[in-house]
Structure 1
């Protein structure tokens, strides 16, 4: 089940503000940028870069994902490993708010998200 319209706008504002703070300078955005998408109960943050062989092809590389679990009223945090599968982020597998997710993502204590 997708977020309500009110929730969607609220989450777009929170994540959008964070993404804007992390984006590279406008002069670099054709070579490297970051963005997000909201799909169902999940928010995915990804990197955007042109293909190294053919710059006309744009690739997205997932960075992080958080999924809202309505029954437990928490956000589960995931990171993508080299095998291109999502894994729960240890030691913080879930948080109560989207702001807590952003704090964990931004601090990246274990180098799972930003390297």
Structure 2
């Protein structure tokens, strides 16, 4: 029997990403959502086929969430057209990951889903 520790933050992230993904496999082949998480940085990605080689996939980050242990806070960033991450304003940091996800869902300024 292996002892697996459940990371509640990753559970929250995975649940949110799954809510964004289409149930239709054909649509997922054209556009899908994924994430990476290393314990302190989450990057939410849009996954699409490469335009000139549909067998290959590209990932485009659209939201970055970073945890600052020293402050016990999460911060939210969005990807500018320049390819650089910028802090999402006006938005204070939050000690609750769920609050950050709610801000992404709301997308009040169309920074994440256009």
Q: Distance in 1 between matches of 2:95 and 2:40?
A: 14
Gaps in structure 2 of 5+ consecutive residues: none
TM-score by length of 1: 0.89
1:84-103 equivalence runs, <5 A:
84-103=83-102
Q: Distance in 2 between matches of 1:33 and 1:48?
A: 5
Aligned to 1:114: 113
Gaps in structure 1 of 5+ consecutive residues: none
Aligned to 1:67: 66
TM-score by length of 2: 0.89
Report the structure number with the largest CA radius of gyration: 2
Aligned to 1:15: 13
Question: Which runs of structure 1 show a deviation greater than 6 angstroms over 4 or more consecutive aligned residues?
Answer: none
Q: Structure 1 pair 30/19, CA: closer, same or farther in 2 (3 Å)?
A: same
Instruction: State the secondary structure of the residue aligned to 2:29.
Output: coil
- When the two structures are aligned, how many residues end up with a matched partner? 110
Contact between 1:78 and 1:93, CA under 8 Å: does it hold in 2? no
CA positional deviation for 1:104: 0.2
